[in-house]
């Protein structure tokens, strides 16, 4: 079972950018994967999806600002986040779509001035 581990979060000012990485323990070929985010007291929300066939889907609030991608040679998924807003503050996770029962530790993204 391929496991996914996130990195790349941090503190950024509104309007700034971050790129999150999700390293897989094995081949990502054919995997439907996504980036989820979670705020306190809520369930993880799928914000961006990349299917094995290469199609992408985003929730409305991040369309035009976030881009999900992958690099097969590094078995890694990415989430490029631009024009960040305070409401993007959350712990971000990568997981399959639909999600596995295993969740990594996530990476904190804080958007604040």
Residue 30 to residues 3, 7, 71, Cα–Cα distance (Å): 14, 22, 12
pLDDT at residue 98 in the model:
94
User: From CA 14, how far away is CA 3, in angstroms rounded?
Assistant: 32
35 burial level (CB within 10 Å; 0-12, 13-18, 19+): buried
Decide if 103 contacts 54 (C-beta within 8 A): no
Specify which residues 24 forms β-bridges with: 4
Q: How many CA atoms lie within 13 A of 7 on its CB side?
A: 4
Mean pLDDT, consecutive 10-residue segments, the chain of 113 residues? 90 98 92 96 97 96 98 96 98 95 94 97
pLDDT at residue 3 in the model:
86
pLDDT at residue 21 in the model:
97
């Amino acid at each position: 079972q391929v496991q996914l581990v996130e990195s790349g979060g941090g503190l950024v000012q509104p309007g700034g950018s971050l790129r999150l990485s999700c390293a897989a323990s094995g081949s990502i070929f054919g995997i439907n994967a996504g980036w989820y985010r979670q705020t306190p007291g809520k369930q993880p929300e799928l914000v961006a999806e990349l299917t094995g066939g290469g199609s992408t889907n985003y929730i409305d609030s991040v369309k035009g600002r976030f881009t999900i991608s992958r690099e097969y040679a590094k078995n890694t998924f990415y989430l490029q986040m631009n024009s960040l807003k305070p409401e993007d503050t959350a712990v971000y996770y990568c997981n399959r779509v639909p999600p596995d029962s295993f969740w990594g530790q996530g990476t904190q993204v804080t958007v604040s001035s």
